[in-house]
Amino acid sequence: MAIADSTTLGQLSTGRRFKNGTATALVYSAFGVALIPLVWLSFTVITKGYKRFFLDANGEHNFNLDFLQQSMRGVVGGSPTGGILHAIWGTLLITAATAIISVPIGIMTAVYLVEYGRGRLKRAVTFFVDVMTGIPSIVAGLFAYALASIIIGPGTKTGFTGAVALSVLMIPVVVRASEEMLRLVPNELREAAYALGVPKWLTVTKVVLRTAIAGLATGVTLAISRVIGETAPLLVAVGFADSMNFNLFEGRMMTLPVYIVSEWKKGPAVCNDPTAVCVPEITEYRAWAAALVLILIVMTLNLVARLISRAFAPKAGR
């Protein structure tokens, strides 16, 4: 009997060696290409974002954290002062409100779809979640703005309106991620609980959700990272502000993405008062520094999610 491949045992044929080499090269170069934007973006944001932190109120080159401790209240022209404290608070408050609205609704919807849903209603819910995933963010903003105008009064812009807009974007993401996680819980565990005479609702809360909690935490954090950088809906529904505002239900609020836009739009500062300290590029410095802070916040969130999922993950060790 003729053997097609006559290489000795344990040796790769030239053809397979070539294929292996090609595939390895492809995989590594794809990885490299995927890394380029990430590295480039990080490099740009860091090199441009650090400058504001090395500019004190006198326009001297000194490290300071004014930028994180001040709002933009009373900051005019090219004055090298003014910061993002109001925008950090706005972003954190609005995102927290969004999470408080979206996480329960999203997870409960996912529980319905995985554990209870049947037939037409289940298909309808799945369909509408799909549709919601595709809503452009500006439309969500307009929706929330219109809703607030109808309910509260024309032209109402509050932090809460923004949270409603972001919830429209966040809920479908939470539903999708949680649904996947709940489906990963083995059916055997549900059966084990039923066979012990545990009612369904307790099986869902104490076995299914408890087993999936690590994945749920990761999904929720990813959903938060997704909405924390949203600009358009907040521009429409929350507007701008230069001062601190801790009240989600009254008045406009600043958020980090909107802050970046508003500083960028100002363009170079005009310096025509020779007695005042003036840095023409200050608006650009502020925008990049705010972008750097936003990225750091998202990174911290992802780290927290990892810690949470590690703490809750089923322990497999012996």
Partner 1 sequence: MSKRIDVNNLNVFYGGFLAVEDVSLAIEPKSVTAFIGPSGCGKSTFLRTLNRMHEVIPNARVEGEVLMDGVDLYGQGIDPVAVRRHVGMVFQRPNPFPTMTISENVLAGYRLSNKRVGKEEAAELVEASLQGANLWEEVKDRLDKPGSSLSGGQQQRLCIARAIAIRPDVLLMDEPCSALDPISTLAIEDLIQELKENYTIVIVTHNMQQAARVADRTAFFNIAGTGKPGRLIEMNDTRTMFSTPSEKATEDYISGRFG
Residue ranges that bind partner 1, judged by CB under 8 A: 118, 186, 188-199, 202-203, 206-207, 210-211, 314-318
**One-letter identity of residue 45:** V
Output DSSP code: residue 8: P
The least distance separating partner 1 from the CB of residue 222, rounded to whole angstroms, comes to 22
Which residue, chain included where needed, has tokens 């310096």? Answer: 271
| Least Cβ distance, residue 115 to partner 1 (angstroms) | 11
CB of 182 to partner 1, least distance (A): 15
Nearer to partner 1, 265 or 318 (CB): 318
- Using CA of residue 160, residue 165, residue 168, residue 170, what is the dihedral sign? negative
Residues in the chain, total: 318
Q: Which is nearer to partner 1, 92 or 189 (CB)?
A: 189
Nearer to partner 1, 2 or 196 (CB): 196
Question: What minimum distance in Å lies between the beta carbon of 193 and partner 1?
Answer: 6
* Residue 134 vs 197, nearer CB to partner 1: 197
For partner 1, give the closer residue by CB, 37 or 197: 197
Give the nearest distance from C-beta 308 to partner 1 in angstroms: 14
Cα 309 to its chain centre, rounded Å, is 17
Q: Where are the alpha helices (H) located in 50-186, listed in sequence order?
A: 66-69, 85-111, 119-133, 137-151, 159-184
Distance of CA 89 to the CA centre of its chain: 16
Q: 274 vs 314, which CB is nearer to partner 1?
A: 314
69: helix, coil or strand?
helix
Q: Which long-range contacts (CB under 8 A, 24 or more apart) does 99-103 make?
A: 99/170, 99/220, 99/224, 101/163, 101/164, 101/167, 102/166, 102/167, 102/170, 102/171, 102/174, 102/223, 103/174, 103/220
The whole-angstrom distance between residue 263's C-alpha and the CA centroid of its chain comes to 22
Give Cα 16 distance to the centre of its chain: 44
What is the smallest separation between the CB atom of 249 and partner 1, expressed in angstroms? 37
